[in-house]
Chain A
Amino acid sequence: MIDTMLVMAAVAAACAVPGVFLVLRKMVLVGDAMSHVLLLGIVLAFFVVRDPASPALFFGAAAAGVVTVALVELLQHTRLLKEDAAIGLVFPALFSIGTLLASMYLRNTHLDVDRVLLGSAELAYLDRFTIAGRDLGPRGFAVPAMVFLATVFLVAVAYKELKLVSFDPGLATTLGFKPALVHYALMLGVSLTTVSAFDAVGPVLVLAFFAVPPAAARLLTNRLSILLVLSVAIAVSAALAGTWLAFRLDITTAGTVCTVLGTLFALTILAAPDRGLIAELLRRRRLIRELHGTLLVVHLHRHEGTPAEAEESRREGLEAHLNWSREQTARVSRRAQAEGWIVAVGDCWKLTDAGRDRAKAAGT
């Protein structure tokens, strides 16, 4: 279980970093397209090298991802179809070629279509990763971990450029940065990450690792640096919790981690301190309370010093003047009293200085 935990945590961390930029640049679905096409890259590279363990497969797959993005953009540039349609055309077509080739020629080899589609974290740690005869741990852990370190390094080096291009590509061009270069570097990063995550989670679930942790973190912060750190933290904790749960229940690890990610995101939407649903509800309630309190003091202020004052500010029957229910009137007055806006004098409410100021502020 520890091995699988390591694998999932490495995959989750590796995906979260480029995922932040995919989410910020609204390109999550491009990531979806790329991940499906990797199969074709793997198959083609296999035809060339004839060795299922060769690193060429890794880079063939990554190249296929970048080619997909280029194709989508080429189609878009004809202006005959929109981006979403271009994505929806390109990846099923390339995916179909990949499946066809795999099922026609690779029946008896190591490349098993089911496994390639769904991934298997339980098996990912079985292969060892060796460089020059030295064992660097399970392949499913070592490769994503290396990709993670590489992307963190790249983001650190090109932090300013990435930030500018992500938030204001127009300004980036004007200032002489090359958005296209940054864009393709990012796409290459996404592609490499996807390939490294492939064995463990497959092309569909990898999308959850790209999209969900940054989306959740996005609800919690507005700063890019914090966003990156939070995304990785959320991804890794979901990976650990999900793996543990999967082993407890004896079900698929990758699917369970995705379920945990989804649950975390739902919780974040509910409970995020500023942008969450609960926070929004509380804010709305507070606004309504404030509005009611203000209405009360404005009412009292308007009749202050007029002949009708005694009638309009009498505590009994005040609800008739404000057109509220009896309970609501009692509640609002109680709160206004607690705020120090009004005091009870005889059987009437009187404004304090603070209450008068508030009424004046609201009136102007």
Chain B
Amino acid sequence: MIGLFDEPAVRTVALGTAAIGALAGFIGTFAVVRRQSLLGDAISHAALPGLALAFLLGARSPIVLIAGAAVAGWIAMALVAGMVRGRHASFDTALGGALAVFFGIGLALLTAIQKHVPDATRHGLDRYLFGQAAIMDETDVRVVAAVGLVSLGIVLALWKPIQLLCFDPDFAAVQGWPIRRLDALLAALVVVATVTGLQAVGVVLMSSLLVAPAVAARQWLNRLGPMAALAAAFGGFAGFAGTIGSHLLSADNRTVPTGPVIVLVATALVAISLARSLFARRVVVLARATS
């Protein structure tokens, strides 16, 4: 394992996935606490038409593609919020419908690209769909780190209203905070975190990285700030250990994809944390029964 880490390629990928995991764990905490765990799932699917459209318009650099994805994801979230507010659909229906319809539009655009753009050797688009951590390079890692630092700065700057919004949005509104705008801002942070991680772990598995570290951290801590920090640590660990693990499992005749292993590490963390909570509860019950 130590020897693996000496390989520069593996080191870059492990650092990159760890950074993505930490970012997703941190931002995901706010989504989980607000019972919007499936936001990441919806966003990562809804980002596809943005990616495809950016590609169709000639963009090839990862940052522009990520920006396209983020715009599409954000539009989808705005539509969901609008449908729920106007009572045209309930949250789950709006989210599920938007997710699938956007994904369908994205697929239609993708097939159009493959037909009509001559140099489209599926230039990394598949990579965004299914995730391929193995081809992360240092630029990608830097992008993730930059996004993470900016998100951290925004959250710290608005810590008080964000905390209020998480636990008592009505009170926050009464206190005069612009909760609709804060809500949109938090959604935007989730969007950015999601699309940044897409390329490494893929559409489906990104949603897990937003949820699992936060749920695990919730079992150990009650305060929002420490919880977000612990979730970031869990997410980082899952990214790192998952990458190393997939390399260890891979042999000459087979390659083990990185994304699923990362998700399984994160899920194992949740299982341990839940077991600890259940055990603690049992101890309390026993103590009460015997005293």
Binding site for B on A (CB under 8 A): 23, 26-29, 31-32, 36, 75, 78, 80-82, 84-85, 87-89, 92-93, 95-97, 99-100, 103-104, 107, 113-114, 117-118, 204-212, 214-215, 218-219, 246, 249-252, 254-259, 261-262, 265, 269, 275, 277
Q: What residues of B have a CB within 8 angstroms of the CB of A28 in the complex? A: 92-93, 95-97
In-complex Cβ contact of B86 among A23, A99, A205, A277 (8 A):
A277
Q: What residues of B have a CB within 8 angstroms of the CB of A117 in the complex? A: 130
12 other A-B residue contacts (CB within 8 Å) besides A259-B101, A277-B86? A23-B93, A81-B215, A84-B38, A88-B41, A93-B263, A107-B254, A204-B99, A208-B101, A208-B104, A218-B89, A246-B108, A258-B104
Q: Does B232 contact A (CB under 8 A)?
A: no
Binding site for A on B (CB under 8 A): 32, 35-38, 40-41, 45, 83, 86-97, 99-108, 110-112, 115, 130, 204-205, 207-208, 210-212, 214-215, 218-219, 254-257, 259-261, 263-264, 267, 270, 274, 277-278
**Cα distance, A84 to B35, chains bound together (Å):** 6
- 8 A-B pairs with CB atoms under 8 Å apart are A27-B92, A32-B38, A87-B37, A103-B254, A103-B256, A104-B254, A205-B104, A265-B101
Are A257 and B112 CB-contacts (below 8 A) given A28-B93, A204-B45? no
Are A85 and B32 CB-contacts (below 8 A) given A80-B278, A104-B254? yes
Residue on B nearest A99 in the bound complex, by CB = B260
**A269–B83 touching, CB < 8 Å:** yes
**Cα distance, A209 to B93, chains bound together (Å):** 11
Min CB gap A212→B, angstroms: 5
Q: What residues of A have a CB within 8 angstroms of the CB of B99 in the complex? A: 32, 204, 207
Residue on B nearest A272 in the bound complex, by CB = B88
**Cα distance, A211 to B96, chains bound together (Å):** 7
Min CB gap A108→B, angstroms: 11
**A256–B108 touching, CB < 8 Å:** yes
Among A27, A219, A249, A252, the one with the most B-chain Cβ atoms within 10 Å of its Cβ is A252
Min CB gap B17→A, angstroms: 14
**A262–B104 touching, CB < 8 Å:** yes
**Cα distance, A274 to B100, chains bound together (Å):** 26
In-complex Cβ contact of B218 among A81, A205, A269 (8 A):
A81
Q: What residues of B have a CB within 8 angstroms of the CB of A259 in the complex? A: 101, 104-105, 108
Are A251 and B111 CB-contacts (below 8 A) given A211-B96, A256-B104, A258-B101? yes
**Cα distance, A261 to B104, chains bound together (Å):** 10
Q: What residues of B have a CB within 8 angstroms of the CB of A75 in the complex? A: 274
**Cα distance, A254 to B100, chains bound together (Å):** 11
**B88–A251 touching, CB < 8 Å:** no
In-complex Cβ contact of B100 among A78, A107, A204 (8 A):
A204
**A80–B219 touching, CB < 8 Å:** yes
**Cα distance, A60 to B21, chains bound together (Å):** 33
**B256–A251 touching, CB < 8 Å:** no
Q: What residues of B have a CB within 8 angstroms of the CB of A29 in the complex? A: 38, 92, 95-96
Are A96 and B100 CB-contacts (below 8 A) given A29-B38, A85-B37? no
- The 10 A-B pairs at the shortest CB distance, nearest first, are namely A258-B104, A92-B208, A255-B107, A208-B100, A262-B101, A96-B260, A88-B211, A255-B108, A28-B96, A207-B100
In-complex Cβ contact of B204 among A23, A95, A208, A258 (8 A):
A95
Min CB gap A126→B, angstroms: 18
Residue on A nearest B267 in the bound complex, by CB = A93
Q: What residues of B have a CB within 8 angstroms of the CB of A104 in the complex? A: 254, 256
**Cα distance, A36 to B44, chains bound together (Å):** 15
**B208–A215 touching, CB < 8 Å:** no
**Cα distance, A103 to B105, chains bound together (Å):** 27
**Cα distance, A95 to B263, chains bound together (Å):** 9
In-complex Cβ contact of A93 among B103, B112, B256, B264 (8 A):
B264
Min CB gap A51→B, angstroms: 22
**A208–B215 touching, CB < 8 Å:** no
In-complex Cβ contact of B263 among A87, A96, A219, A250 (8 A):
A96
**Cα distance, A238 to B210, chains bound together (Å):** 34
Min CB gap B237→A, angstroms: 16
**A252–B108 touching, CB < 8 Å:** yes
**Cα distance, A61 to B154, chains bound together (Å):** 44
In-complex Cβ contact of B104 among A27, A107, A257 (8 A):
A257
**A219–B101 touching, CB < 8 Å:** no
Residue on B nearest A84 in the bound complex, by CB = B37
Q: What residues of B have a CB within 8 angstroms of the CB of A99 in the complex? A: 257, 259-260
In-complex Cβ contact of A26 among B38, B92, B105 (8 A):
B92
Min CB gap A356→B, angstroms: 39
**B264–A269 touching, CB < 8 Å:** no
Are A87 and B100 CB-contacts (below 8 A) given A81-B215, A96-B208, A255-B111? no
Q: What residues of A have a CB within 8 angstroms of the CB of B100 in the complex? A: 204-209, 211-212, 258
Residue on A nearest B254 in the bound complex, by CB = A104
**Cα distance, A211 to B257, chains bound together (Å):** 32
**Cα distance, A185 to B278, chains bound together (Å):** 30
Q: What residues of B have a CB within 8 angstroms of the CB of A118 in the complex? A: 107
**Cα distance, A141 to B191, chains bound together (Å):** 38
**B41–A32 touching, CB < 8 Å:** yes
**Cα distance, A88 to B28, chains bound together (Å):** 11
**Cα distance, A150 to B98, chains bound together (Å):** 28
Q: What residues of B have a CB within 8 angstroms of the CB of A251 in the complex? A: 108, 111-112, 115
**Cα distance, A92 to B97, chains bound together (Å):** 19
**Cα distance, A89 to B214, chains bound together (Å):** 10
Q: What residues of A have a CB within 8 angstroms of the CB of B110 in the complex? A: 252, 255
Are A26 and B211 CB-contacts (below 8 A) given A92-B204, A95-B204, A250-B115? no
In-complex Cβ contact of A85 among B108, B204, B211 (8 A):
B211
In-complex Cβ contact of B207 among A92, A261, A269 (8 A):
A92
